[in-house]
Amino acid sequence: MHPLLKDFETTDEKINDIKTEKMLIKVDDYFAVTEPVSAIFRNKCGKSDLMEKAQVRQIITAYVKSMNPTIEGKLVIPNDSVLVSLLGSREPVDWNTLFQKIISKMTKTYVITWADGRQLIRKTALPKITFKIENRAGNKKVTLVNNLSIYGIDPKKLCREIQTGVATSAVVVNNAAECEGFQILVQGNQILFISNLLTKYGVEKKHMTGLELIPKK
């Protein structure tokens, strides 16, 4: 388990000895131990503890090999009651399927470290930053950017950088539909500029959707 992780939503505690202006947004994913799998992890960690996927696989592998026979190292024959219960069968199973079935019974957990050092722990699906293009009066296009708040992005700072970078208007919209937190509305199709700006903030492209709407050169 990562020693710094705590079971809370947000904390005002900031990471020391790091200049916050140089910090980037960081998203890490973990798996939380649940009751169904607790017997496998009992000697390593407790319920709700968070672990990286590689560590989860190592612990599962050690448990399975100590409690169940294998066929040429490729197939596992479920033998003990814990594994049979998790897999729902005593039929031989390959390692990938075994990992998938056990891990699916754990809670996927995201730890988002904001640029100011605070952390948000989220045990539900992590929404992606979503780009949309809409036509407004006079067939003018606008870019809508949703779900920025969970990544700790300052809306006023982002709007200023957009206004300066592409010389267009950018405003904050509160209570927008299908959006968690505030929405940013920008004149024109500015997805390329904004997505690159968010990348500089530390947000990886895998946490964005709608990039296919970037105008083709």
pLDDT digits (tens, 9 = 90+) for 165-189: 999 999 999 999 999 999 999 999 9
Residues 116-124, mean pLDDT to the nearest whole number: 94
Q: Is the pLDDT of residue 4 over 60?
A: no
- Confidence tier at 21 by pLDDT (50, 70, 90): low
Q: What is the pLDDT of residues 142-152, one digit of tens each?
A: 999 999 999 99
Give pLDDT, residue 156.
Answer: 97
Query: 131 Cβ partners below 8 Å, 6+ apart?
Result: 143, 144, 145, 191, 194, 195, 208, 209, 210, 211, 213
Under a CB-based contact definition with an 8 Å cutoff, are residues 180 and 127 in contact? yes
56 vs 46, higher pLDDT: 56
Average pLDDT, the chain: 90
Domains detected in the chain? 20-122 (1.10.245), 129-213 (3.30.780.10)
Instruction: State the pTM of this model.
Output: 0.80
Return the closest-CA partner of residue 76 out of 63, 91, 58.
Answer: 91
